Amino acid sequence: MCAIQLSGIQKGFGSTSVLSGVDLSIEQGEFCVFIGPSGCGKSTLLRIIAGLEDPSEGDIRIDGVRVNHLEPAKRDVAMVFQSYALYPHMTVKQNLEFGLKHQKLLTAEIDKRVAAAAETLHLTPLLERKPGALSGGQRQRVAIGRAIVRKPKVFLFDEPLSNLDATLRVKTRVEIAKLHRALNTTSMIYVTHDQVEAMTLADKIVLLRPLAGQEHMVSIAQVGTPLELYHHPANRFVASFIGSPSMNFIAGEVAALASDGIVTAVAEHQINAAVAPGALKAGDKVTLGIRPEHIELGSGSLTGNVAHVEYLGEHAYVYLETELSRQPLVAKSAHQDIEIGSLLRFNLPATSLHLFDGNDVALPRLLGSVRQAA
Amino acid sequence: MKKLTLGTLLYYVLVSIVLVACLFPFLYTIGSSLKRGNELFATSLWPAHPSLSNYATLFHDQPFGAYLLNSVLVSGGAVVLSLLVSVLAAYALGRVSFRGRGVLMMCILGVSMFPQVAILSGLFELVRWLGLYDRLGALVLTDLIFTLPFTIWVLVTFMRELPKELEEAALMDGVGVFTLIFRIFMPLLLPALAATSLLAFIGAWNEFLFALTFTISPEQRTVPVAMSMIAGASSFELPWGTIMAASVIVTVPLILLVLACQRQIVSGLTAGAVKG
């Protein structure tokens, strides 16, 4: 069942349009993450769903009912704000109760829900404190608790972890994943710019991006599961956004079409990519893409000069200067003893390569490669 | 020990000048109010035999307690009304965007530019028309003219600084505008409210011209007017002692109010609302 359906959502501020025709449906119980570069309108989209902003065009349906005209509180959604937005003059308990009291719920029911939420979020000993006396992580939990007690159909998170320090962020991320499992019929929409959060939490990622040539216009670049976006990016923007360090891109042109993919000519070399050729023909300009973790170092016909090495403990990133591209290729290596200036052999496996046509749209990777990669 | 630089020296000299300028008249008033008879014309700051007889005379010769009560009612009423109106106005002017907001703000500021005398006759007609002449209500109403522009402007500034997310969180919790203003914003504005209401109170407490014009009977008299009418046994005598005693009595409530509100003014209540 569709919990939330957005159709043709447009949003403009004054004469500038921000969101252009967003269509999206989110299933009941799904954890959906909006991600994209900063200022790409992902928070605006969330706020439109919440009812804090009105779309210029388009419909929002929750459980099949059009809610465009409904106030935020009537939409059965709850929101966790980036800055928590706790009422500073009320105790934790009063903060949790406040919304429920305005729904005119029975006191017994309110007490039950508050106690249950406090128990889940380990807030019971803090109930009589005021937000000023809480740590950042505790305030965050109160903010989540305030959303839980309302038992909404949809949870909205607006960058909830961005104000926490790194350790706490990882801990809270796990807590949110657990919470989603516990409330398995509640849909969650989560806005973030952190792709680790997106990859670890999401059932579905919605990647937003500015439209080509119109920097202030935003549309959806791709919708899919985290692994779909990782293995089958729809275009070059998605390919470069997902994954860290970013995918390597090599400009080339189609040399020949083969049964198992496309042969591309880059500089003096011929590189095979296992993708369906689509409408490509020999001579077309294309871009090859390969992730650092998929470059095979140590053997192969290609060579590169080690320009720089970043050691991260368990592995290292090697920056290779090659004749394939002006930018050095970044490759992941398990070895820790790579000398700067040395010559390394490497291979770009055909099944790990992505190929983008002249419009930066990805060509479908052949099925064999999917199994291998996934 | 900290080195005494020219800067700090100058600082303390200036502070002492300000202190003396502010406090000496008050000290002199207290001293004089405790003097009797010919002692009043002695040069000493403090009487050799302090006595409270001036205070006794003050309350004995006229219903000074009733005047005080009138003043409290008028000032209190003006403060409560102006806070109520200005909190609502500040929400609209500070947090709701509508056409002509800037013009409206300027108009409100403009109101405070007119000298009291300039609007006195117009107000007199208004007060008569409302049937408030010679009633305390007239003073409460007219005092709003100089308290409101000031309280609105101050509160708008504070209102604008409250985080937007708080309002949105309240919206998500489904509260109406009035609950938002009175249950969420007002407690956060307490320091600002304390400061503005204090100044509004002082303004209304000291108000003389309107009180003189719009009331006539002794029952409706406020302290500033009553003080101007304190007369001696003969028309040639000015009862300095009694006037000084009255001055002390009208000043003490203000000092107590400032002391009481001091903590509210200083304490930052918004701590913990959002990050940090």
3-state secondary structure of A204: strand
Could you report the per-residue pLDDT of B190-247, keeping only the tens digit for each? 888 888 888 899 899 999 999 988 988 888 889 999 888 887 766 777 788 888 899 9
Does B171 contact chain A (CB < 8 Å)?
A: yes
Q: Which two tokens stand for residue A355?
A: 């190929």
**pLDDT tier at B2, thresholds 50, 70, 90:** low
Residue B274's pLDDT band (boundaries 50, 70, 90)? very low
Chain A hits for B169, Cβ within 8 Å: 79, 81, 85-87, 146
Give me the pLDDT at residue A373, please: 41
Between vectors from CA B15 to CA B14 and to CA B18, what angle results, nearest 5°? 85
Degrees, nearest 5: CA angle B28-B30-B34: 110
Contact A26, A189 (CB under 8 A): yes
- What pLDDT sits at residue B268? 41
* Highest CATH level, class, for A246-373: mainly beta
8 Å CB contact of A73 and B174: yes
* Domain extents in chain A: 2-239, 246-373
B173 contact residues in A (CB cutoff 8 A): 73, 98-99, 102, 146
Residue A335 has pLDDT above 50, yes or no: yes
Per CATH, A2-239 and A246-373 having the same topology is answered: no
Q: B179–A132: do the CB atoms touch at under 8 Å?
A: no
- Note the pLDDT tens digit of each residue in B126-178: 999 998 898 888 999 989 888 899 899 889 988 888 888 899 999 888 888 89
Give the whole-angstrom CA distance, residue B40 versus residue B45. 10
Q: For residue A358, is pLDDT > 70?
A: yes
Interface test with B, best of A98, A161, A168 (most B CBs within 10 A): A98
- The mean per-residue pLDDT over the stretch B47-74 comes to 88
Which CATH architecture fits A2-239?
3-Layer(aba) Sandwich (3.40)
Mutate to test the interface with B, among A89, A129, A165 (most CBs of B within 10 A): A89
Average pLDDT over residues B110-138: 88
- Determine which of A134-143, B217-226, B253-262 has the lowest per-residue pLDDT on average: B253-262
User: Does residue B97 register a pLDDT over 50?
Assistant: yes
The span from the CA of B118 to the CA of A135, in Å, is 57
- Nearest by CB to B271, from A83, A88, A103: name it: A88
Q: Which domains does chain B have, with CATH numbers?
A: 1-51 (no CATH), 56-266 (1.10.3720.10)
**DSSP letters spanning B146-187:** HHHHHHHHHHHHHHHHS-HHHHHHHHHTT--HHHIIIIIIHH
